[in-house]
Amino acid sequence: MSTEHIGERTADEATEREVATSRTELKITTTSVRTYAVAPGYRLNVRSGPGTSYTIIRVLSEGARVPIYCQRPGEAIAGPYGTSNIWDNIDNGEYVSDAYVLTGSDGYVAAHCS
């Protein structure tokens, strides 16, 4: 054990405390994001905003699952799960109509987008 003193602590004591502090600061919390199934048999347009007048960014393949980070009102769309004006934000600037996503609810299942 080292006997070099730093203030009233030995170098080893200082190192142990610094390591403990570093472990606390590096603690990473992960949260899982729930994903939802797109209606079977559909390829779903992903748009830049909550309506059909927005640009199609990409098309999801049949059997896709999507995360819903937040939801916002927009154009009402009729789909396999009813008619809904809710649009699901599935990535930064990417929206799909909730009428094509099996959320198990006719209402909001995520926070409103700000």
pLDDT of 64-94, one tens digit each? Answer: 999 999 999 999 999 999 999 999 999 999 9
Mean pLDDT, rounded, for 59-67: 97
pLDDT at 27: 55
Residue 52 binned pLDDT confidence (cut-offs 50, 70, 90): very high
Q: pLDDT digit string (tens) for 32-50?
A: 789 999 999 999 999 999 9
The string of DSSP codes covering the chain is: ----EETTEEHHHHHHHHHHHHHHHT-----PPPEEEEPTT--EEEESSSSTTSPEEEEEPTT-EEE-SEEEEEEEEEETTEEEEEEEEEETTEEEEGGGEE-S-SS-SSPBP-
Claim: this prediction has a pTM higher than 0.75:
no
